[in-house]
Amino acid sequence: MKNQELCNFFRTRAKSVNLSASYKALNGKYVDSLLPAEPIAVQPRLRVSQETKLDRDLVRHGGIRTFEWVLTGQSVADMAFLRESQEMLHDLYPSGYQSVINAAGTFATPQALRGFVEALDDDDDLGMLGRNLLYILDPFPTELSFHRDVVALFAEWPRRPAMVLTADGTPPNFLSRVLDWGYAGIVLQAAKDFERAVVDRCYLTARKDREPIGKYTFDGGALPISQGREAILNELAAQSVLGNKSIACEPVAAILELLSDSHPGRVNA
């Protein structure tokens, strides 16, 4: 199936979704007015850890401009890893690049998270990362994500970076709770639970229109690499229809080539 046909398939499915079944606030709202009129270009968000490192040639040939830095919770090692990676990227992209910090639930306390962000801001070698930080993903362990101490931190820290939670496997109304607690939004795999993804994207769009001040984020989760080519292309098309800008991808040359050759939103065989 051509990429445009996949996008059309998901767009048609989206139009049949009952938005108000999950969120009463969407009663009377229509998908056409809350999703992009056309599929957008979904970019790979290269997931990099201390184990995978950065492949300079892979980054350059793939034209990667968005990176997801996975932390370990070892603060000294994490800062050294970030600093080393930024040095290489500064040479490749002196005009800038975008970053996501995947904390992977490593901050045991809200104070530890704030200390990390302040250290990031104070480190001259990490200035570009801090200035172009899209969001921090999964800052706390699951059991701490909705702790009263987190709410207190967010209340006293209005200039914090956007904080985002992974929504895969969560209840249908998870996004509403996330926003009410002060997070900026979610990342989500779209194709396997497309109706829920549509409702969440529409709910966020409607809420942004009602509350224009603040940070709001809805982004692609992890690309389902282990499920094969068809699952990858379905996920890309679904994310494209939703209007999400990036999706997390491991640094695998064959996968990045597939993303480049089979870009949702443009027609090819």
Asked whether residue 245 is assigned to any structural domain, the reply reads yes
Asked whether residue 31 is assigned to any structural domain, the reply reads yes
Asked whether residue 173 is assigned to any structural domain, the reply reads yes
**Residue 268: predicted pLDDT:** 40
Could you give the CA distance from residue 124 to residue 139 in angstroms, rounded to a whole number? 23
Asked whether residue 166 is assigned to any structural domain, the reply reads yes
Asked whether residue 269 is assigned to any structural domain, the reply reads no
**Residue 266: predicted pLDDT:** 43
Asked whether residue 24 is assigned to any structural domain, the reply reads yes
**Residue 41: predicted pLDDT:** 86
**Residue 267: predicted pLDDT:** 38
**Residue 269: predicted pLDDT:** 31
User: What is the mean pLDDT, run by run of 10 residues, along the chain of 269 residues?
Assistant: 85 94 92 92 92 86 91 93 90 89 96 94 85 95 95 93 96 93 95 96 88 80 92 94 94 84 48
Could you give the CA distance from residue 69 to residue 85 in angstroms, rounded to a whole number? 9
Contact 53, 91 (CB under 8 A): no
**Residue 12: predicted pLDDT:** 95
Strand partners, 66: 98
Contact 9, 211 (CB under 8 A): no
Specify the DSSP class assigned to residue 97: -
pTM value? 0.93
Q: Whole domain around residue 193: which residue ranges? A: 3-260
Q: At 197, which CATH number?
A: 3.20.20.120
Contact 59, 103 (CB under 8 A): no
Asked whether residue 266 is assigned to any structural domain, the reply reads no
**Residue 253: predicted pLDDT:** 86
Number of domains composing the chain: 1
**Residue 35: predicted pLDDT:** 95
Could you give the CA distance from residue 184 to residue 189 in angstroms, rounded to a whole number? 17
Q: At what angle do helices 194-210 and 3-15 cross, to 10 degrees?
A: 70
- Which alpha helices (H) appear in the chain, and where do they start and end? 3-15, 31-34, 56-62, 75-92, 110-122, 127-131, 148-156, 174-180, 194-210, 229-242, 253-261
Asked whether residue 71 is assigned to any structural domain, the reply reads yes
